[in-house]
Each structure stands twice: as structure tokens, then as C-alpha cells.
Amino acid sequence: MALISLNSMPSTQIVLASTSPYRRELLSRLGLPFETANPATDETALYDELPEATALRLSEAKARAVAAQYPEALIIGSDQVAYLDGQIFGKPGDHENAVEQLKRMRGRTVNFFTGLCLLNAKTGKVHLRGVPTRVSFRKLSDDEIENYLRKEQPYNCAGSAKSEGLGIAMIAKMDGEDPNALIGLPLIALCDLLRNENVKII
């Protein structure tokens, strides 16, 4: 009979500042109880802001947006930016923009940067981490792009591609320290930040 240690349960409430089902599924892998909250944050990049700075700023902004609701919690915020040739590729929003993004990215290597924030709402302490991933896309035909978008409709994903779904078929190679980062929540970095706040994971 397996024994469950009460010490393995976090004494502090954990909140994921996201309504993304993909981030929720990733966080659930750690086996920690948590809640989700909608951060309702403006994700527009600032003028002349570097992509990495945008992702880090927005990850913290999302965490802070729900802090008033959870004043005793550890709050997780995450944001991802895709960029190529100095241009940020945000969430396309519709089919036309997604087609344009994928046509520009085909046959190219695109940088994805995932910003991660862990905010201790009780103490005000902020932990920030950035995780880069380089993604090389296949030389996709126009038909492949259209077929993919009709099947998956990734219009709420930065760069118009869901690597956790059919989007993996468009990718030739990935180079990064955490495959979960591309999906939207870098678990390796998150485990480090949670341990910094004395959360026992295993």
C-alpha cells in the first residue's frame, strides 16, 4: 500500500493566471492542486520593446492582474512571443493573418521566447525566467498551410502553430531547453521557481 506524505502537499495556494487549456494540462502534470484565473491582460507589445522583454513583462502583468483576488497565493503567469527578422508574430486572430504568418515562416527558423513569472502575492516577491526555443519550419506548400489551418484553426496561438497538435507536422527541427516551453509553460523552469518558494514537488 502506497503512503502519501502530507508534506508533499503545498501549504500555499497556487493559481495559474491563464485560461489556456494547454497551460492547465501542463501544470497538472506536476500533481499539485491549483486554480485558474483569467488575467484579462492587454498583450500589445510596447513601441521599440524587444520580444524577450515583451514576453517577460506580460508574464508578470498576467500574474499581477489576478493578485488582488488571491492575496495569499503563488501566482503563475506565462506569455510567449514568436519573432523573425526583428518582427513579432503574435496571435493571428483570423485565417488571413495565420496564412500570412505561416508563409513568412516556412523554410525558416523562428525564435519563440516564453516568459515565466511566479509571483508570491503575500510577500510581493517576483521570480522571472525566460526560455528560448528555436523552431525550424519545413518548406510548406500553400496547400499544406491551408489544410493545416482548416483542421486546427490555431488563431489564438503565437506564430499560428500548435506544436502540441497537428502543427508538429510542419516542423523540421526544434532546439530548446524545455519542450513544454513551446506549448506555453516551461515546466523545468517552473519547478525551479516553485522550489525557490519552498513548494515540495516530489
Structure confidence by residue, pLDDT tens digits, 182-198: 999 999 999 999 999 99
What is the domain count for the chain? 1
Would you state the cell numbers that stand for residue 154, as one nine-digit string? 490555431
Q: Which helix or strand (DSSP H or E) is residue 153 part of?
A: none
How far apart are alpha carbons 35 and 40 in whole angstroms? Answer: 16
Strands 126-137 and 14-16: unpaired
User: Does residue 21 lie within any of the structural domains?
Assistant: yes
pLDDT tens-place string over residues 53-110: 999 999 999 999 999 999 999 999 999 999 999 888 888 999 999 999 999 999 999 9
User: Does residue 201 lie within any of the structural domains?
Assistant: no
85 among known catalytic residues: no
| pTM to 2 decimal places | 0.88
- Residue 158 confidence (pLDDT): 81
Full domain range(s) for residue 117 = 11-196
- Which 8-state DSSP code applies to residue 88? E
* Catalytic member of 42, 48, 79, 142: 79
Q: Buried b / exposed e across 9-28, counting CB within 10 Å, b at 16+?
A: ebeebbbbbbebebbeebbe
User: Does residue 4 lie within any of the structural domains?
Assistant: no
